[in-house]
Structure 1
Amino acid sequence: MSEAFVLPCSPSILRPDRFDFVSSDAPEVPFWRILTCILAESLNSVTDSSSLIDTLETISVVLHGEAARNYQVLYVNVATSSRPCLATAIFIPEPLHPPLKSEETSQIILSRRQAACLVVHLFLCSLPAHPWQTESFVNLSPWYSAGEAMHQGAVQAYLTALFTYFEAIASEPDSGILHHSVEDWPVVFTSIVTPEDQSHALLCNAPASLSRLAVVQLPHQSTDTTYLGLPDGACVISANKCVGLGATGTQEELHVGISPEAYPVTLLAPPLKDRQVLICQGAEAIVTTKGHGRWASLDEILHGRPRPSSDWRNRVMLFMDALELDLVDHAHPNGGENIPDLMPGYLHRELVKAYTAFCSHRYRNTRKPYPFVTTGLWGCGAFGGNRQVKAIIQWYAASIANIPELRYVLGGAEQEVFGDELKRFVDRVAEHTGRELEPRKLFDVLVRLGTDIQNRKAAVPEPDEIFQYVLKSL
């Protein structure tokens, strides 16, 4: 079992009282005692960006021995928004039960107050390092300083979501976010692991009909509520195996960044394993964004607009990481460029990952299959996956998970070409084989092709010819 994540209130975290907050002669005192003094003082002293950053620097010096070097982005965004973010008295954590397990299915259920508490500590950078090796962040500091790895439009959207969230907590202490009991509105993090013996049996239990695949093409990528899996579906988050936060505007970062109650996802799980996915249910999106990466930016502020609260309570985010195929040698022994996605072991790994996510409804109260799942170019950006192979894998996984509809949402001119290819492929599958086609046959073509390429019995198709090859093989 993984070592538990340590919260700031743990008596095991001892630090020197550098600024004599607790007036102790001991060389080290519990960090929590110092932190509560800093926070109590800050409730009166923090009035603008400079005093807020002074508080963050003090916490950093006490916990880490040094202050962060650059708060430029945070300073500008707090100053321009004029949003008080420390007006909330929610700094005392309630009991938690971290971490999620890597080898078996497990779950952590938080109240909205508990989730808010963790968000505040992420913002204050008052959490100790993870007890396991990871690339995930335990604070929001990547959003605070300017640099080449930070895309300002995306970060501005995240900070707007964060401070709007803090404002809502401060302005509605008795009737807003913190008012909900854990029974009324839980924020649930579930680690789902498909047992190895079950993962090898997937192909033997395939149903007889394909899910409907609908292609939605947008002028630009968007996190509008229409594309978040609301009200009763689910949305694929193209995650890193170390899930969570960042400052570069990836699809994962955008979906998490607009939803503060999802931020704790970065704290609660060690890096994902091959047969494991992470599910977040109940995180309310505070803003929406448009664009992606360097071109991502704030679109609209959602909080305060009329929308059934049940939509957010039931919101499901499916964190599933794809293989990092950009790290695989693409050179083929016979010359030309290989398609690593087609290696049989890789195909099965991606199928199990997607199937595990699409079947996650089994661990919710309703236990009914999602009526639809929203997805997109999973693992096909920086990870170097083949768009056509990944689309077939997800279509097959949705079919064997009994998902009635898979919604492929694509945005921008660059993805429009693939969207047209995918629609033509789906239409031709229906036209030439009918919906009676067993989903397994689509996947079997990929497996045979991968095996033949590996055994040098077949040439490697061009990356954009997989759909054509599959249609001919059917």
Structure 2
Amino acid sequence: MGGREKLLPLKWEPAEAAFKWSTGLRRALHRLSQGAAVRTGLALADFISQVADQDTDFQSADGVAFYFDGCLEPQEKALFFDKTLPRMADLALRLPELLAEQSEQTRSMAGELKDSDDERVLLPLSLRILCSQQPGLILMSQELAASLLSCAFLCLFPVARRDEHQLPAINMDTMFEALRLRPSQAQKVHCLVNYFNRVCEFMPEGTISYERKVLSRGDKVMQPGFWGRNHGGLCSFEVVEDGKIEDVGWEYAQVDFANKFLGGGVLRLGCLQEEIRFMLSPELIVGMLFLPAMAENEVIEIIGSERFSNYSGYGGSFRYAGNFVDSTSKDSWGRRCTKIIAMDAVEWPGESQFQEKLLLREVCKAYCGFLSTEKVPSICEGAEKRREYEGIATGNWGCGAFGGDLSIKSMLQWIAASEAGWSTVKYYTFRDKKAERLHEAVRHIVENKYDMGQLWSALVSYGKLRGSLDKSCDFFSWLVKTSL
């Protein structure tokens, strides 16, 4: 069963070789699916408190009541309780059936891969814990993802052993805590409710893959001397001051400035780049169920998630801005061609981030993320050629809340993308003042025909001299001055 019994709110029946709901939960969910008397936030909170996993310390009743009874317009409330919630209960009820379907479908797909020239071990593709240092991929339908998210909303997942496996919390009760004090929390729930309204009205038929990518500790790029001796050319680097990474289009893989625990604070009070991206595409949250924390040589890649919401603002100013219709084409596995690369930077590294040891850690982390490892069929929908991504869409990774230096992190991503074989990096500055000299630095590097090794060596040299420099002298300023 690959550890699934530790993840799921179901019982394994050996005689039937299948998962089943307990009698009590099955009856409760059936009543809810038939339109049981749950018409208010207070009644919903009471229902959740009764069905939630026994180890869940459910303290969000006030927040659930406040949101559904005070934050929704009457017609929005009626839609959720009359139509959406019963269908969510039905989705949860169908979890055993959907898991069985997934096992059958992925067994067939795995057979196709086994017969191909794929060198990676992708088997099995079915739901399980993707443990640290074990590369692997899980494939599921959007319907199964919706079922799992419905279970998370109703707080049905067992919580007792998640810490043991370094898994983040998955039940959604924490989203409703402090909801009165944080206006952005209600806006995040608006995104979630919009997702459930959409999929319960019309279930999308796509597929999503969740992959743990592991860079071997013996890989040449992990060796201290590799990067300085690398004379490969740098790819193109485009600085974009306005716009958002998630609007770039499927042709660019999108970087998620991740916490080592996938999703970061998305189900708590977090509302920064990663959390916002997960609210726009709640299917990303599903990965939190079975993907333990990332080690320094690991990255998580998700292909196929659909975007459902628009937004404005950031952090405390974040606001749900209505529906989003995702028209991204699909590959031969039914995955939308949106690729999300979740990679975590070192948190609050201080001055140590300029040392070669941490430079190596960050460039290898980015390289692991940017390296294309999938060998699965990738024919675009309606096309006779293989799907080819044009580049990486990224930005101030590891900066902001993580305290990283933008002038260093941007260059490390450039080097990593170049070594991974990408043709271009599209770098979104979000008009950060610290990025004002990025244009000048990129122009200087291009005009002087730096290769990867030269740029890396410059970063190392800057790090060694950092202690003797004025703290206001970032890498960009130093590089241009020393080359005059």
Q: CA deviation at 1:11?
A: 4.4
For 1:187-226, list aligned pairs within 5 A: 187-198=208-219, 199-201=221-223, 202-203=226-227, 206=230, 208-218=232-242, 222=244, 225-226=246-247
Match of 2:287 in 1: 265
2:152 counterpart of 1:122: yes
Q: CA deviation at 1:364?
A: 5.0
CA distance in 2, matches of 1:8, 1:469: 56
2:64 counterpart of 1:34: no
- What is the TM-score of this pair, normalised by structure 2? 0.78
CA distance in 1, matches of 2:67, 2:345: 32
Match of 1:382 in 2: 401
Q: CA deviation at 1:388?
A: 0.5
Match of 2:476 in 1: 467
* Contact map agreement 1:361 1:369 (CA 8 A) in 2: no
Q: CA deviation at 1:280?
A: 0.9
Q: CA deviation at 1:52?
A: 2.2
2:363 counterpart of 1:351: yes
Match of 2:119 in 1: none
Aligned with residue 413 of structure 2, among 394, 397, 410: 394
CA distance in 2, matches of 1:156, 1:290: 14
CA distance in 1, matches of 2:305, 2:256: 13
* Contact map agreement 1:100 1:106 (CA 8 A) in 2: yes
For 1:176-187, list aligned pairs within 5 A: 176-177=203-204, 180=205, 185-187=206-208
Q: How many residues are matched? A: 418
* Contact map agreement 1:248 1:294 (CA 8 A) in 2: no
CA distance in 1, matches of 2:406, 2:189: 32
SS at match of 1:87: helix
CA distance in 1, matches of 2:58, 2:172: 17
CA distance in 1, matches of 2:153, 2:477: 49
CA distance in 2, matches of 1:61, 1:282: 30
CA distance in 1, matches of 2:238, 2:461: 27
List alignment gaps of at least 5 residues for structure 2.
14-19, 100-125, 379-385
Q: CA deviation at 1:78?
A: 4.8
> Closer, same or farther in 2 for the Cα pair 1:282/1:61, shift >3 Å?
closer
Greater mean deviation of Cα atoms: 126-135 or 50-59: 126-135
Greater mean deviation of Cα atoms: 129-138 or 110-119: 129-138
Aligned with residue 448 of structure 1, among 453, 461, 469: 461
Q: CA deviation at 1:316?
A: 0.8
2:422 counterpart of 1:423: no
CA distance in 1, matches of 2:21, 2:357: 47
* Contact map agreement 2:301 2:342 (CA 8 A) in 1: yes
Q: CA deviation at 1:350?
A: 0.3
SS at match of 1:158: helix
> Closer, same or farther in 2 for the Cα pair 1:101/1:62, shift >3 Å?
closer
Aligned with residue 145 of structure 1, among 177, 184, 187: 177
Match of 1:9 in 2: 10
CA distance in 2, matches of 1:8, 1:268: 13
For 1:274-289, list aligned pairs within 5 A: 274-289=296-311
Match of 1:101 in 2: 131
CA distance in 2, matches of 1:310, 1:369: 12
CA distance in 1, matches of 2:200, 2:179: 31
List alignment gaps of at least 5 residues for structure 1.
13-29, 331-338
> Closer, same or farther in 2 for the Cα pair 1:387/1:463, shift >3 Å?
farther
CA distance in 2, matches of 1:396, 1:32: 53
CA distance in 1, matches of 2:196, 2:474: 50
- Measured against aligned partners, the alpha-carbon deviations of 1:222-252 in whole angstroms (never above 9, x if no partner) come to 46x523xx22221110111011123321111
* Contact map agreement 1:222 1:291 (CA 8 A) in 2: no
Q: CA deviation at 1:200?
A: 2.2
* Contact map agreement 2:296 2:365 (CA 8 A) in 1: yes
CA distance in 2, matches of 1:196, 1:258: 34
Q: CA deviation at 1:190?
A: 0.3
* Contact map agreement 1:151 1:249 (CA 8 A) in 2: no
Q: CA deviation at 1:35?
A: 1.6
Q: CA deviation at 1:463?
A: 4.8
Greater mean deviation of Cα atoms: 277-286 or 403-412: 403-412
Q: CA deviation at 1:207?
A: 5.5
- Measured against aligned partners, the alpha-carbon deviations of 1:263-290 in whole angstroms (never above 9, x if no partner) come to 1121111110000000111111111222
* Contact map agreement 2:11 2:22 (CA 8 A) in 1: yes
RMSD: 2.9
2:67 counterpart of 1:74: yes
> Which AA in structure 1 matches 2:22?
W
Match of 1:333 in 2: none
* Contact map agreement 2:59 2:177 (CA 8 A) in 1: no
- Measured against aligned partners, the alpha-carbon deviations of 1:393-413 in whole angstroms (never above 9, x if no partner) come to 11111111121111111225x
> Closer, same or farther in 2 for the Cα pair 1:207/1:318, shift >3 Å?
farther
Match of 1:294 in 2: 316
Q: CA deviation at 1:156?
A: 3.4
CA distance in 2, matches of 1:79, 1:71: 17
CA distance in 1, matches of 2:67, 2:372: 37
> Closer, same or farther in 2 for the Cα pair 1:261/1:291, shift >3 Å?
same
CA distance in 2, matches of 1:363, 1:252: 27
Match of 2:168 in 1: 136
